[in-house]
Structure 1
Protein backbone atom coordinates (compact mmCIF):
# COMPACT_ATOMS: atom_id res chain seq x y z
CA UNK A 1 0.00 0.00 0.00
CA UNK A 2 1.12 3.52 -0.67
CA UNK A 3 2.97 5.41 2.06
CA UNK A 4 0.35 8.18 2.27
CA UNK A 5 -2.50 6.10 3.70
CA UNK A 6 -2.89 5.48 7.44
CA UNK A 7 -5.29 2.91 8.90
CA UNK A 8 -6.68 2.44 12.41
CA UNK A 9 -8.90 -0.30 13.81
CA UNK A 10 -11.25 0.94 16.54
CA UNK A 11 -12.99 -1.06 19.24
CA UNK A 12 -15.44 0.30 21.76
CA UNK A 13 -16.60 0.15 25.32
CA UNK A 14 -20.28 0.03 26.24
CA UNK A 15 -21.50 2.59 27.14
CA UNK A 16 -19.24 5.10 25.33
CA UNK A 17 -17.13 7.43 27.42
CA UNK A 18 -18.51 10.92 28.07
CA UNK A 19 -15.30 12.37 26.57
CA UNK A 20 -16.06 10.62 23.28
CA UNK A 21 -19.62 11.95 23.11
CA UNK A 22 -18.39 15.47 23.93
CA UNK A 23 -16.40 15.85 20.68
CA UNK A 24 -19.31 14.90 18.38
CA UNK A 25 -21.44 17.51 16.67
CA UNK A 26 -25.23 17.68 16.98
CA UNK A 27 -25.88 15.57 13.87
CA UNK A 28 -23.53 12.83 15.07
CA UNK A 29 -25.19 12.77 18.49
CA UNK A 30 -28.62 12.44 16.89
CA UNK A 31 -27.37 9.61 14.74
CA UNK A 32 -25.87 7.85 17.76
CA UNK A 33 -29.16 8.20 19.64
CA UNK A 34 -31.06 6.63 16.73
CA UNK A 35 -29.48 3.18 17.14
CA UNK A 36 -31.74 0.68 18.89
CA UNK A 37 -28.90 -1.47 20.18
CA UNK A 38 -26.59 0.15 22.76
CA UNK A 39 -23.58 -1.70 21.36
CA UNK A 40 -24.16 -0.20 17.91
CA UNK A 41 -24.49 3.29 19.37
CA UNK A 42 -21.31 2.81 21.39
CA UNK A 43 -19.33 1.70 18.34
CA UNK A 44 -20.65 4.63 16.31
CA UNK A 45 -19.62 7.09 19.02
CA UNK A 46 -16.15 5.56 19.46
CA UNK A 47 -15.51 5.43 15.71
CA UNK A 48 -16.55 9.01 15.05
CA UNK A 49 -14.71 10.31 18.10
CA UNK A 50 -11.56 8.49 16.93
CA UNK A 51 -11.95 10.00 13.45
CA UNK A 52 -12.27 13.50 14.93
CA UNK A 53 -9.20 13.01 17.11
CA UNK A 54 -7.13 11.77 14.16
CA UNK A 55 -8.26 14.59 11.87
CA UNK A 56 -7.84 17.17 14.62
CA UNK A 57 -4.26 16.06 15.19
CA UNK A 58 -3.52 16.29 11.46
CA UNK A 59 -5.17 19.72 11.10
CA UNK A 60 -3.94 21.17 14.38
CA UNK A 61 -7.43 21.83 15.78
CA UNK A 62 -9.51 20.41 18.61
CA UNK A 63 -11.47 17.26 17.70
CA UNK A 64 -14.80 19.04 18.26
CA UNK A 65 -13.71 21.80 15.86
CA UNK A 66 -12.99 19.56 12.85
CA UNK A 67 -15.30 20.99 10.14
CA UNK A 68 -16.98 17.88 8.73
CA UNK A 69 -19.63 18.16 6.03
CA UNK A 70 -21.09 16.07 3.21
CA UNK A 71 -20.73 16.72 -0.49
CA UNK A 72 -23.80 16.73 -2.72
CA UNK A 73 -23.34 13.01 -3.44
CA UNK A 74 -23.11 12.17 0.25
CA UNK A 75 -19.34 11.71 0.63
CA UNK A 76 -18.13 13.04 4.02
CA UNK A 77 -15.25 15.54 3.72
CA UNK A 78 -13.31 18.05 5.79
CA UNK A 79 -14.57 21.48 4.73
CA UNK A 80 -11.84 23.58 3.12
CA UNK A 81 -9.26 20.78 3.19
CA UNK A 82 -9.07 19.29 -0.31
CA UNK A 83 -5.76 17.55 0.46
CA UNK A 84 -7.10 15.65 3.47
CA UNK A 85 -9.15 12.57 2.61
CA UNK A 86 -10.70 10.09 5.00
CA UNK A 87 -13.06 7.14 5.15
CA UNK A 88 -14.82 5.41 8.02
CA UNK A 89 -16.65 2.10 8.32
CA UNK A 90 -18.07 0.09 11.21
CA UNK A 91 -19.64 -3.35 11.44
CA UNK A 92 -20.08 -5.90 14.19
CA UNK A 93 -17.88 -4.74 17.05
CA UNK A 94 -15.13 -3.18 14.92
CA UNK A 95 -14.55 0.09 13.05
CA UNK A 96 -11.90 1.02 10.48
CA UNK A 97 -10.64 4.55 9.83
CA UNK A 98 -8.46 5.56 6.87
CA UNK A 99 -6.67 8.88 6.26
CA UNK A 100 -4.76 9.79 3.11
CA UNK A 101 -3.60 12.62 0.91
CA UNK A 102 -5.69 11.36 -1.99
CA UNK A 103 -9.12 9.72 -2.37
CA UNK A 104 -9.42 6.72 -0.06
CA UNK A 105 -12.13 4.29 0.92
CA UNK A 106 -12.23 1.71 3.70
CA UNK A 107 -14.76 -0.90 4.64
CA UNK A 108 -15.14 -3.50 7.37
CA UNK A 109 -17.77 -6.23 7.25
CA UNK A 110 -19.05 -8.74 9.76
CA UNK A 111 -19.04 -12.11 8.00
CA UNK A 112 -22.73 -12.74 7.22
CA UNK A 113 -24.78 -15.89 7.29
CA UNK A 114 -24.78 -18.16 4.26
CA UNK A 115 -28.26 -17.08 3.12
CA UNK A 116 -27.36 -13.37 3.24
CA UNK A 117 -24.14 -14.01 1.33
CA UNK A 118 -26.01 -15.94 -1.37
CA UNK A 119 -28.74 -13.32 -1.79
CA UNK A 120 -26.39 -10.33 -1.89
CA UNK A 121 -23.91 -12.19 -4.07
CA UNK A 122 -26.43 -12.22 -6.92
CA UNK A 123 -25.83 -8.48 -7.42
CA UNK A 124 -22.08 -8.82 -8.01
CA UNK A 125 -19.95 -8.85 -11.16
CA UNK A 126 -20.35 -12.14 -13.11
CA UNK A 127 -16.70 -13.08 -12.56
CA UNK A 128 -17.07 -12.41 -8.83
CA UNK A 129 -20.14 -14.62 -8.68
CA UNK A 130 -18.22 -17.38 -10.45
CA UNK A 131 -15.38 -17.13 -7.93
CA UNK A 132 -17.77 -17.43 -5.00
CA UNK A 133 -19.57 -20.38 -6.57
CA UNK A 134 -16.23 -22.17 -7.02
CA UNK A 135 -15.43 -21.95 -3.30
CA UNK A 136 -16.30 -24.79 -0.91
CA UNK A 137 -19.74 -24.06 0.59
CA UNK A 138 -18.27 -23.61 4.07
CA UNK A 139 -15.96 -20.85 2.79
CA UNK A 140 -18.43 -18.84 0.72
CA UNK A 141 -19.71 -16.48 3.43
CA UNK A 142 -16.18 -15.45 4.42
CA UNK A 143 -15.17 -15.10 0.77
CA UNK A 144 -18.22 -12.96 0.12
CA UNK A 145 -17.39 -10.70 3.09
CA UNK A 146 -13.84 -10.12 1.81
CA UNK A 147 -15.11 -9.37 -1.70
CA UNK A 148 -17.89 -7.09 -0.44
CA UNK A 149 -15.42 -5.17 1.74
CA UNK A 150 -13.19 -4.52 -1.30
CA UNK A 151 -16.23 -3.47 -3.32
CA UNK A 152 -17.51 -1.00 -0.73
CA UNK A 153 -14.03 0.39 -0.04
CA UNK A 154 -13.61 1.11 -3.75
CA UNK A 155 -17.06 2.66 -4.13
CA UNK A 156 -16.47 4.86 -1.07
CA UNK A 157 -13.17 5.94 -2.56
CA UNK A 158 -14.94 6.90 -5.78
CA UNK A 159 -17.49 8.83 -3.74
CA UNK A 160 -20.45 7.05 -5.33
CA UNK A 161 -21.17 4.51 -2.61
CA UNK A 162 -23.81 1.96 -3.53
CA UNK A 163 -25.36 4.30 -6.10
CA UNK A 164 -22.93 2.73 -8.58
CA UNK A 165 -24.02 -0.69 -9.87
CA UNK A 166 -22.40 -3.51 -7.91
CA UNK A 167 -21.79 -5.49 -11.10
CA UNK A 168 -19.97 -2.64 -12.87
CA UNK A 169 -16.50 -3.32 -11.43
CA UNK A 170 -14.46 -6.44 -10.73
CA UNK A 171 -12.87 -6.65 -7.26
CA UNK A 172 -12.35 -10.40 -7.10
CA UNK A 173 -9.22 -12.41 -6.34
CA UNK A 174 -7.88 -12.16 -9.89
CA UNK A 175 -5.89 -14.77 -11.76
CA UNK A 176 -5.71 -16.22 -15.27
CA UNK A 177 -8.83 -15.56 -17.29
CA UNK A 178 -10.22 -13.06 -14.78
CA UNK A 179 -10.95 -9.39 -15.54
CA UNK A 180 -8.61 -6.71 -14.27
CA UNK A 181 -9.42 -4.65 -11.22
CA UNK A 182 -10.35 -0.97 -11.71
CA UNK A 183 -7.54 1.08 -13.26
CA UNK A 184 -6.11 3.91 -11.20
CA UNK A 185 -6.80 2.30 -7.82
CA UNK A 186 -4.98 0.04 -5.39
CA UNK A 187 -7.39 -2.21 -3.46
CA UNK A 188 -6.09 -4.47 -0.70
CA UNK A 189 -7.47 -6.66 2.06
CA UNK A 190 -6.78 -5.40 5.60
CA UNK A 191 -6.08 -7.86 8.45
CA UNK A 192 -8.65 -7.53 11.22
CA UNK A 193 -10.48 -9.41 13.95
CA UNK A 194 -11.86 -12.94 13.46
CA UNK A 195 -15.36 -12.97 12.02
CA UNK A 196 -14.76 -9.74 10.09
CA UNK A 197 -13.30 -8.77 6.71
CA UNK A 198 -11.82 -5.40 5.81
CA UNK A 199 -10.31 -3.62 2.83
CA UNK A 200 -8.83 -0.30 1.74
CA UNK A 201 -8.93 1.38 -1.69
CA UNK A 202 -6.50 4.20 -2.52
CA UNK A 203 -6.49 6.27 -5.69
CA UNK A 204 -3.20 6.28 -7.56
CA UNK A 205 -3.70 9.98 -8.35
CA UNK A 206 -5.22 12.77 -6.21
CA UNK A 207 -7.91 13.68 -8.76
CA UNK A 208 -9.25 10.21 -9.48
CA UNK A 209 -12.41 10.35 -11.59
CA UNK A 210 -15.40 8.02 -11.53
CA UNK A 211 -15.05 5.56 -14.45
CA UNK A 212 -17.88 4.86 -16.83
CA UNK A 213 -20.15 1.99 -15.85
CA UNK A 214 -19.36 -1.31 -17.50
Structure 2
Protein backbone atom coordinates (compact mmCIF):
# COMPACT_ATOMS: atom_id res chain seq x y z
CA UNK A 1 0.00 0.00 0.00
CA UNK A 2 1.20 3.50 -0.85
CA UNK A 3 -0.34 6.89 -0.18
CA UNK A 4 0.82 10.27 -1.42
CA UNK A 5 -0.06 13.75 -0.13
CA UNK A 6 0.19 16.74 -2.46
CA UNK A 7 -0.44 20.43 -1.83
CA UNK A 8 -2.07 21.57 -5.08
CA UNK A 9 -1.30 25.22 -4.32
CA UNK A 10 2.45 24.65 -4.03
CA UNK A 11 4.83 25.66 -6.80
CA UNK A 12 3.92 23.83 -9.99
CA UNK A 13 6.49 21.14 -10.86
CA UNK A 14 7.87 20.88 -14.39
CA UNK A 15 5.99 17.66 -15.14
CA UNK A 16 2.65 19.41 -14.51
CA UNK A 17 3.01 21.08 -17.91
CA UNK A 18 3.38 17.85 -19.90
CA UNK A 19 -0.15 17.83 -21.38
CA UNK A 20 -1.14 14.38 -20.09
CA UNK A 21 -4.80 15.29 -19.51
CA UNK A 22 -7.61 13.71 -21.51
CA UNK A 23 -10.15 15.79 -23.42
CA UNK A 24 -12.78 14.87 -20.83
CA UNK A 25 -10.57 16.09 -17.98
CA UNK A 26 -9.90 19.34 -19.82
CA UNK A 27 -13.63 19.78 -20.46
CA UNK A 28 -14.45 19.30 -16.78
CA UNK A 29 -11.76 21.77 -15.78
CA UNK A 30 -13.20 24.36 -18.17
CA UNK A 31 -16.60 24.07 -16.45
CA UNK A 32 -15.31 25.69 -13.24
CA UNK A 33 -16.19 29.37 -13.04
CA UNK A 34 -13.53 29.93 -10.38
CA UNK A 35 -9.95 29.97 -11.73
CA UNK A 36 -8.43 28.60 -8.50
CA UNK A 37 -10.87 25.67 -8.39
CA UNK A 38 -10.20 24.90 -12.04
CA UNK A 39 -6.44 24.94 -11.50
CA UNK A 40 -6.69 22.66 -8.47
CA UNK A 41 -8.88 20.19 -10.37
CA UNK A 42 -6.57 20.05 -13.39
CA UNK A 43 -3.44 19.78 -11.29
CA UNK A 44 -5.01 17.02 -9.19
CA UNK A 45 -5.71 14.94 -12.31
CA UNK A 46 -2.19 15.56 -13.64
CA UNK A 47 -0.77 14.56 -10.26
CA UNK A 48 -2.78 11.33 -10.16
CA UNK A 49 -1.55 10.44 -13.64
CA UNK A 50 2.05 11.33 -12.83
CA UNK A 51 2.26 9.39 -9.55
CA UNK A 52 0.45 6.30 -10.82
CA UNK A 53 2.43 6.38 -14.04
CA UNK A 54 5.62 6.57 -11.99
CA UNK A 55 4.48 3.58 -9.91
CA UNK A 56 3.57 1.52 -13.00
CA UNK A 57 6.35 2.76 -15.32
CA UNK A 58 3.71 4.03 -17.75
CA UNK A 59 3.73 7.46 -19.43
CA UNK A 60 1.04 9.57 -17.69
CA UNK A 61 -0.73 10.37 -20.97
CA UNK A 62 -1.09 6.63 -21.71
CA UNK A 63 -2.60 5.71 -18.33
CA UNK A 64 -6.23 4.68 -18.83
CA UNK A 65 -8.38 5.63 -15.81
CA UNK A 66 -11.99 4.45 -15.84
CA UNK A 67 -14.86 4.63 -13.36
CA UNK A 68 -17.34 2.10 -12.03
CA UNK A 69 -21.04 3.16 -12.07
CA UNK A 70 -20.75 4.39 -8.47
CA UNK A 71 -17.78 6.60 -9.36
CA UNK A 72 -14.97 4.42 -8.01
CA UNK A 73 -11.85 4.84 -10.21
CA UNK A 74 -9.93 1.85 -11.54
CA UNK A 75 -7.19 1.02 -14.03
CA UNK A 76 -8.51 -1.29 -16.79
CA UNK A 77 -5.00 -2.08 -18.02
CA UNK A 78 -3.58 -2.74 -14.54
CA UNK A 79 -6.18 -4.77 -12.68
CA UNK A 80 -3.67 -5.76 -10.00
CA UNK A 81 -3.44 -2.21 -8.65
CA UNK A 82 -6.45 -0.68 -6.93
CA UNK A 83 -6.64 3.08 -6.42
CA UNK A 84 -8.52 5.80 -4.57
CA UNK A 85 -8.08 9.53 -4.15
CA UNK A 86 -9.60 12.43 -2.26
CA UNK A 87 -9.36 16.22 -2.41
CA UNK A 88 -10.02 18.83 0.26
CA UNK A 89 -9.43 22.38 -0.96
CA UNK A 90 -5.68 22.49 -1.79
CA UNK A 91 -4.93 18.97 -0.55
CA UNK A 92 -4.86 15.76 -2.59
CA UNK A 93 -4.47 12.29 -1.06
CA UNK A 94 -3.87 9.40 -3.46
CA UNK A 95 -3.78 5.75 -2.42
CA UNK A 96 -2.78 2.59 -4.30
CA UNK A 97 -2.82 -1.04 -3.22
CA UNK A 98 -1.77 -4.24 -4.96
CA UNK A 99 -3.34 -6.46 -2.30
CA UNK A 100 -7.04 -5.52 -2.56
CA UNK A 101 -9.55 -2.67 -2.39
CA UNK A 102 -8.46 0.65 -0.89
CA UNK A 103 -10.30 3.83 0.02
CA UNK A 104 -8.76 7.11 1.17
CA UNK A 105 -10.17 10.39 2.38
CA UNK A 106 -8.73 13.72 3.51
CA UNK A 107 -10.47 16.66 5.17
CA UNK A 108 -8.74 19.91 6.02
CA UNK A 109 -9.20 20.76 9.68
CA UNK A 110 -11.77 23.53 9.99
CA UNK A 111 -14.84 24.44 12.08
CA UNK A 112 -17.99 22.60 11.00
CA UNK A 113 -21.39 23.94 12.16
CA UNK A 114 -23.47 21.31 14.00
CA UNK A 115 -21.01 18.51 13.12
CA UNK A 116 -22.91 15.72 14.87
CA UNK A 117 -26.14 16.60 13.06
CA UNK A 118 -24.23 16.38 9.78
CA UNK A 119 -22.71 13.03 10.74
CA UNK A 120 -26.06 11.59 11.84
CA UNK A 121 -27.55 12.23 8.39
CA UNK A 122 -25.35 9.49 6.94
CA UNK A 123 -24.67 7.47 10.09
CA UNK A 124 -27.88 7.24 12.16
CA UNK A 125 -26.29 4.72 14.56
CA UNK A 126 -24.22 7.52 16.11
CA UNK A 127 -24.00 6.92 19.89
CA UNK A 128 -25.52 9.64 22.07
CA UNK A 129 -22.29 10.18 24.03
CA UNK A 130 -20.18 11.07 20.99
CA UNK A 131 -18.67 14.57 21.06
CA UNK A 132 -17.98 16.96 18.15
CA UNK A 133 -14.25 16.11 18.24
CA UNK A 134 -15.17 12.74 16.70
CA UNK A 135 -16.69 14.30 13.59
CA UNK A 136 -13.69 14.48 11.26
CA UNK A 137 -12.22 11.08 12.23
CA UNK A 138 -15.65 9.45 11.75
CA UNK A 139 -16.44 11.31 8.53
CA UNK A 140 -13.10 10.49 6.90
CA UNK A 141 -13.37 6.83 7.92
CA UNK A 142 -16.88 6.61 6.49
CA UNK A 143 -15.76 8.24 3.24
CA UNK A 144 -12.71 5.99 2.94
CA UNK A 145 -14.77 2.88 3.66
CA UNK A 146 -17.43 3.57 1.04
CA UNK A 147 -14.77 4.52 -1.50
CA UNK A 148 -13.14 1.15 -0.87
CA UNK A 149 -16.43 -0.68 -1.46
CA UNK A 150 -17.50 1.62 -4.29
CA UNK A 151 -20.96 2.27 -2.84
CA UNK A 152 -20.78 5.95 -1.89
CA UNK A 153 -22.04 7.60 1.31
CA UNK A 154 -25.74 7.58 0.49
CA UNK A 155 -25.83 3.81 -0.12
CA UNK A 156 -22.86 2.44 1.80
CA UNK A 157 -22.40 4.42 5.01
CA UNK A 158 -24.93 2.39 6.98
CA UNK A 159 -22.97 -0.79 6.24
CA UNK A 160 -19.91 0.66 7.96
CA UNK A 161 -19.47 -0.28 11.63
CA UNK A 162 -17.57 2.35 13.61
CA UNK A 163 -16.34 2.24 17.19
CA UNK A 164 -16.16 5.49 19.20
CA UNK A 165 -14.17 5.91 22.40
CA UNK A 166 -14.53 8.53 25.15
CA UNK A 167 -11.37 10.38 24.00
CA UNK A 168 -12.81 11.16 20.57
CA UNK A 169 -10.94 8.48 18.64
CA UNK A 170 -12.83 6.48 16.02
CA UNK A 171 -11.99 3.02 14.68
CA UNK A 172 -13.38 0.77 11.97
CA UNK A 173 -14.87 -2.48 13.25
CA UNK A 174 -15.90 -3.75 9.83
CA UNK A 175 -18.12 -3.35 6.78
CA UNK A 176 -21.25 -5.47 6.71
CA UNK A 177 -21.97 -7.63 3.68
CA UNK A 178 -18.76 -6.80 1.82
CA UNK A 179 -17.01 -10.10 1.25
CA UNK A 180 -15.13 -12.58 3.36
CA UNK A 181 -11.96 -10.60 4.00
CA UNK A 182 -11.67 -8.48 7.13
CA UNK A 183 -11.49 -4.72 6.65
CA UNK A 184 -9.20 -2.40 8.56
CA UNK A 185 -9.02 1.36 8.71
CA UNK A 186 -7.03 4.09 10.41
CA UNK A 187 -7.29 7.83 10.83
CA UNK A 188 -4.55 10.31 11.65
CA UNK A 189 -3.89 14.02 11.88
CA UNK A 190 -1.36 15.62 9.54
CA UNK A 191 -0.07 18.79 11.23
CA UNK A 192 0.30 22.03 9.29
CA UNK A 193 3.77 22.41 7.83
CA UNK A 194 5.50 24.27 5.02
CA UNK A 195 2.34 26.00 3.82
CA UNK A 196 0.30 22.79 3.87
CA UNK A 197 -2.74 23.12 6.18
CA UNK A 198 -3.49 20.59 8.91
CA UNK A 199 -5.82 17.78 7.89
CA UNK A 200 -7.38 14.53 9.04
CA UNK A 201 -6.74 11.54 6.79
CA UNK A 202 -8.24 8.06 6.69
CA UNK A 203 -7.24 4.89 4.84
CA UNK A 204 -9.36 1.73 4.60
CA UNK A 205 -8.15 -1.53 3.07
CA UNK A 206 -9.43 -5.07 2.82
CA UNK A 207 -7.26 -7.18 5.07
CA UNK A 208 -4.88 -6.16 7.81
CA UNK A 209 -3.25 -2.74 7.78
CA UNK A 210 0.26 -2.73 9.18
CA UNK A 211 1.17 0.38 11.16
CA UNK A 212 -0.62 3.73 11.10
CA UNK A 213 -2.12 5.28 8.00
CA UNK A 214 0.32 8.17 8.40
CA UNK A 215 3.34 5.88 8.16
CA UNK A 216 2.57 5.24 4.48
CA UNK A 217 1.94 8.87 3.49
CA UNK A 218 4.63 10.36 1.26
CA UNK A 219 4.54 14.11 0.77
CA UNK A 220 5.13 14.89 -2.90
CA UNK A 221 5.47 18.09 -4.90
Give TM class, smaller chain: 0.7 to 0.9
The match for 2:202 is 199
Pair 1:8 & 2:4 matched = yes
Task: Classify the secondary structure of the residue corresponding to 1:182.
Answer: strand
Q: Any conservation in 1 of the 2:120–2:126 contact (CA below 8 Å)?
A: no
Q: Any conservation in 2 of the 1:20–1:46 contact (CA below 8 Å)?
A: yes
The match for 2:160 is 169
Whole-angstrom CA distance in 1 between matches of 2:108 and 2:171: 27
Q: Which residues of structure 1 form unaligned runs of 5+?
A: 206-214
The match for 2:105 is 107
Count, aligned residues: 192
Q: Map of 1:1-214 to 2, 5 A cutoff?
A: 5-13=1-9, 19-20=15-16, 22-101=19-98, 102-115=100-113, 117-132=115-130, 135=131, 140=132, 142-173=133-164, 181-182=173-174, 184-194=182-192, 195-204=198-207
Q: Any conservation in 2 of the 1:188–1:200 contact (CA below 8 Å)?
A: yes
Specify which structure has the higher proportion of strand.
2
Q: Any conservation in 2 of the 1:95–1:108 contact (CA below 8 Å)?
A: yes
Q: Any conservation in 2 of the 1:67–1:78 contact (CA below 8 Å)?
A: yes
Evaluate the alpha carbon distance shift between residue 145 and residue 35 of structure 1 in structure 2; reply closer, same or farther with a 3 A threshold: farther
Residues 120-172 of structure 1, C-alpha deviations (whole Å, 9 max, x = no match):
1222435534353xx2xxxx1x5311210010001000111224243332234
- RMSD of the alignment, in Å? 2.8
Evaluate the alpha carbon distance shift between residue 171 and residue 37 of structure 1 in structure 2; reply closer, same or farther with a 3 A threshold: farther
Evaluate the alpha carbon distance shift between residue 181 and residue 174 of structure 1 in structure 2; reply closer, same or farther with a 3 A threshold: farther
Evaluate the alpha carbon distance shift between residue 163 and residue 109 of structure 1 in structure 2; reply closer, same or farther with a 3 A threshold: same
Evaluate the alpha carbon distance shift between residue 100 and residue 62 of structure 1 in structure 2; reply closer, same or farther with a 3 A threshold: same
Q: Which residues of structure 2 form unaligned runs of 5+?
A: 176-181, 193-197, 209-221
Structure 2 length-normalised TM: 0.74
Task: Classify the secondary structure of the residue corresponding to 2:38.
Answer: helix
Structure 1 length-normalised TM: 0.76
Q: Any conservation in 2 of the 1:147–1:172 contact (CA below 8 Å)?
A: no
